[in-house]
Amino acid sequence: MVIEYARHVLGFEDAQHGEYDPYASELFVSALTCSLAGKTMPVSLVEGSRAAELYGLTEVEEQYYCDFGLEPGHRRTLHDGGFRVTGVDEEQEARVLELPGHPFYVATLFVPQARSTPEQPHPLVTGLLRAALQSRG
């Protein structure tokens, strides 16, 4: 979502993900200094954000399966362009991004569907489904 937003909304045609082109001139997603794969970590959500509303909380714990994250040098670029960081870890690193006002443009570094079950669906999964149903009119 970060790459798509950078390319098609902010006009960075050469925006790239470090996993696919680590030497690109405009890395918006880069390798983390320390892998998060297999870790469960706290996430602080901005009050009033879509994620906080869906969880009904501003402090949550999530599981990670990634080694890449938002390139810190582009956090302000995305923010100024309307794509906001609404969830951070203990080091204030971006873990959730949202496009305010959009029915459901929410990006996470964790994988919500990995801990979603039919008996206990993840709040972001149900939020996505609700937004899709509402958009059908």
Q: What is the pLDDT along the chain (137 residues), one digit of tens a residue?
A: 999 999 999 999 999 999 999 899 899 999 887 888 888 999 999 999 999 999 999 999 999 888 899 999 999 999 999 999 999 999 999 999 999 989 899 999 999 988 899 999 999 999 999 999 998 86
pLDDT value at residue 20:
93
For the whole prediction, is pTM greater than 0.85? yes
pLDDT value at residue 35:
81
Burial (Cβ within 10 Å: 0-12, 13-18, ≥19) of residue 128: middle
Contact between residue 114 and residue 65 where contact means Cβ atoms under 8 Å apart: yes
pLDDT value at residue 96:
97
For residues 46, 48, 49, 52, the Cα torsion angle rounded to the nearest 10 degrees is 80
Q: Cα 127–128–133 angle (5° rounding)?
A: 95
Residues β-bridged to residue 84: 98
Burial (Cβ within 10 Å: 0-12, 13-18, ≥19) of residue 94: buried
pLDDT value at residue 33:
79
pLDDT value at residue 137:
65
Query: Which is it for strands 15-17 and 26-31: parallel, antiparallel or unpaired?
Result: parallel
